[in-house]
Amino acid sequence: MAKPAVLTTSSLTSLLFNPKSLYIVSYGWLVGMSIWVTFFGGIIAFKALPRHQFGMLQHKTFPVYFVLSILLSVGLTGYWTVSHPDVLEYINDPFVADVAQAYTLASVFLAQAANHLVIGPMTSKTMFQRQKLEKSEGKNYNEVSVSEEMKVLNRRFGILHGISSMLNLWAVLALIFHGLWVGGNGI
């Protein structure tokens, strides 16, 4: 019978400096945050807040979410690549499992960077233009008799919001795929 491990101050301290432990915590933070923001936090806020307050909350929250997603996904991709030498050796072969995982993590970075740097700012700008026009027209954006300018803004907002949502959903699915891989095969 094997002797059980005993927790000591040094064994607990070593967890803080263990790259695999930090990888798991970082991955858990990223996937948990992504699932919360995507499937729970936004829906709760949408139901609880007036539309303009909800928009302002999203405008303030998403940049923080995207920056954290970018930083964590870069860290995970970097560690994965360094700890799996075959990634660089077979970088052009996405069917090599470790390369596929590196591409998966890199795709999270790309999706969230696109959201943070391009799509998010465009969506916020359109949302604020729409709110300003609502005020000047004295009508909500979804009334039948809104101006052509409002209809254009509505279409633009819908397209941008859809693109942002799809990029974010891709990131969540990629993270789940990576988690299933790590769970079955280790880091």
pLDDT in tens, 82-93: 999 999 999 999
Q: What is the mean pLDDT of residues 28-37?
A: 98
Asked whether residue 141 is assigned to any structural domain, the reply reads yes
Q: How many structural domains are present in the chain?
A: 1
Asked whether residue 9 is assigned to any structural domain, the reply reads no
Asked whether residue 146 is assigned to any structural domain, the reply reads yes
User: What pLDDT is attached to residue 16?
Assistant: 86
Q: What is the mean pLDDT of residues 31-35?
A: 98
pLDDT in tens, 45-67: 999 999 999 999 999 999 999 99
* Cβ proximity of 30 and 88 under 8 Å: no
Look at residue 15 and tell me whether its pLDDT is greater than 90. no
In angstroms, what CA-CA distances link 13 with 16, 63, 75?
A: 6, 33, 21
Asked whether residue 84 is assigned to any structural domain, the reply reads yes
Cα–Cα distance for residue pair 63/69, rounded to 1 Å: 10
Domain, as residue range, for 34: 19-185
* Cβ proximity of 91 and 140 under 8 Å: no
Cα–Cα distance for residue pair 186/140, rounded to 1 Å: 52
158: confidence class by pLDDT, cuts 50, 70, 90 = very high
11: confidence class by pLDDT, cuts 50, 70, 90 = confident
Asked whether residue 45 is assigned to any structural domain, the reply reads yes
Look at residue 184 and tell me whether its pLDDT is greater than 90. yes
Asked whether residue 10 is assigned to any structural domain, the reply reads no
* 3-state DSSP of 131-182: HHHHHHHCCCCCCCCCCHHHHHHHHHHHHHHHHHHHHHHHHHHHHHHHHHHH
175: confidence class by pLDDT, cuts 50, 70, 90 = very high
User: What pLDDT is attached to residue 1?
Assistant: 79
pLDDT in tens, 102-136: 999 999 999 999 999 999 999 999 999 999 999 99
Asked whether residue 129 is assigned to any structural domain, the reply reads yes
Asked whether residue 4 is assigned to any structural domain, the reply reads no
Structure tokens at 41: 């936090």
